[in-house]
Amino acid sequence: MANDRRPDDMVRITTPELANAFIEEQVALLKQQIGDRKVLLALSGGVDSSVVAALLIKAVGQQLVCVHVNHGLLRKGEPEQVIEVFRNQMKANLIYVDATDRFLDKLAGVNDPETKRKIIGNEFIEVFAEEARKLDGVECLAQGTIWPDILESENGIKAHHNAGGLPEDLKFELVEPVKVLFKDEVRMVGTCLGLPDSMVFRQPFPGPGLGVRCPGAITRDRLEAVRESDAILREEFAKNGLEGKVWQYFTVVPDFKSTGIKDGNRAFEWSVIIRAVNTTDAMTAEVENIPFELMQHLVKRITSEVKGVNRVLYDFTPKPTGTIEFE
Ligand code: XMP
């Protein structure tokens, strides 16, 4: 396929006109590469895979088969948004797999962060491969590889998340329509393809999802406390003009309880930790200065609305010494 590498003189896609020209060119190239074959895509709902899905829907429509695996560690409303945007609005061919029980059963009792990551990664490939084997005649695999992924893998910083992980019996021709784009360009293209801002401009979210925000062994009730408190934090940041201003913000619920009082009774419950940081490259990060009134409001909402939580704490630690995530 043409455009294998980003040409040195490629103009940065900063306007809708440039994005539309890119879309038109890619749609033609995708039609040429794919022909009448079927293409498979793991659609997480993240920016990159969503933009790839939207491009492919435009280019080959129903020849695209999207698989959305819900590993049970997604944020509140995420699987619903993927189904609404891609199946209902864009009429994509979308297979939704609720694999929550499979993942949470495998993770039960597992304390070590890296083992948790490995289990989540391996199980994801396993579930995706099972779905791929059920389909007939799929020859191509689309991926949301972007230009920084290629640069980082060339520089040995990280292995780029390509088809390398799939089992031997699954061999696909790769389709990577945004691989010469930087993140801001992917966003501009996504907007021009009609994807909602909440999908295109969302904050980074790690592959292992809420799993790394439920430190130690994941339990369903603590995971629910992470999910509900995260939803409240996101809602309040959006209402108070912090969405889009703060680089990453989320909640963590460690596996420890403390004594409190609720309705005049002793309440021995968890604490929610709020983390909100700014960074440019995620290598270092500074803590956001959240207005005190907003903090008080968050404390009130989280302690009254999230089951099993009696305290809210704020993490004032920059990176270094703390990493952005807790695990
Ligand atoms: P840390 O915690 O290393 O995070 O300071 C830096 C950035 O990377 C994200 N992160 C991950 N992303 N898989 C991912 O896809 C992971 O296992 C993972 N761990 C951390 C984190 O959210 C932050 O944006």
Domains of the chain are 16-200 (3.40.50.620), 209-314 (3.30.300.10)
- Could you tell me the distance, in angstroms and rounded to a whole number, from the CA of residue 169 to the centre of ligand 1? 31
Nearest to 202 by CA among 252, 251, 146, 246: 246
Spans of the chain, pLDDT less than 50: 1-2
- Could you tell me the distance, in angstroms and rounded to a whole number, from the CA of residue 129 to the centre of ligand 1? 25
Q: Tell me: the pLDDT tens digits for 122-148?
A: 999 999 999 999 999 999 999 999 999
Peptide bond before residue 251 is cis, with ω within 30 degrees of 0: no
* Per-residue b or e along 71-83, where b marks 16 or more CB atoms closer than 10 Å to that residue's CB: bbbbbbebbebbb
Residue 308: phi and psi, rounded to 5, are 85, 15
- Could you tell me the distance, in angstroms and rounded to a whole number, from the CA of residue 177 to the centre of ligand 1? 24
Burial of 42 (0-12, 13-18, 19+ CB in 10 A): buried
d(Cα 166, Cα 130) in Å, to the nearest integer? 11
- CB 319 near ligand 1, within 6 Å: yes
Nearest protein Cα to ligand 1, atom 19: 206
- pLDDT at residue 155 in the model: 84
Question: H or E element: which one contains 276?
Answer: strand 265-278
- Could you tell me the distance, in angstroms and rounded to a whole number, from the CA of residue 205 to the centre of ligand 1? 7
- pLDDT at residue 3 in the model: 57
Q: Tell me: the pLDDT tens digits for 159-185?
A: 766 556 899 899 999 999 999 999 999
Nearest protein Cα to ligand 1, atom 16: 206
What ranges in 183-270 are assigned the alpha helix state H? 183-192, 197-200, 220-239
- CB 325 near ligand 1, within 6 Å: yes
Per-residue tokens: 114: 């890296």
What are the CA-CA distances from residue 202 to residues 29, 133, 198 (Å)? 28, 32, 6
Rg (CA), the chain: 21
Can you tell me which atom of ligand 1 is nearest the CA of 205? 22
